[in-house]
Amino acid sequence: MSHSDDLLISFIALAVCAGLVILGFRQNFKEKTEFRRVRPPWMVIALAAISVGFMIVVHIANLFGFETGR
């Protein structure tokens, strides 16, 4: 896989994570009018997307040549 392909996939994954964060926060804080027994844990989904998004940002920084580790 070339460098540009890796960057493209990383930016697409970052956009998907941002979309999941927005969807998760909107679904978690919207007014709950229906009473369903099974509801997805939207806050957990949003927090997981934030942490994965942060890892992708670090990966993109490494691809640009910045040293983020030891």
Domain assignment present for residue 70? The answer is no
Domain assignment present for residue 68? The answer is no
Q: How many domains does the chain have?
A: 1
Whether residue 6 has pLDDT greater than 90: yes
What confidence tens digit (pLDDT) does each residue in 15-29 have?
Answer: 999 999 999 999 988
Its domain, for residue 54, covers 3-12+19-63
Domain assignment present for residue 40? The answer is yes
What confidence tens digit (pLDDT) does each residue in 8-61 have?
Answer: 999 999 999 999 999 999 998 887 777 777 778 899 999 999 999 999 999 999
pLDDT of 7: 95
pLDDT of 59: 94
DSSP 2-65: -HHHHHHHHHHHHHHHHHHHHHHHHHHHS---S--S----HHHHHHHHHHHHHHHHHHHHHHTT
What's the DSSP call for residue 68? Answer: -
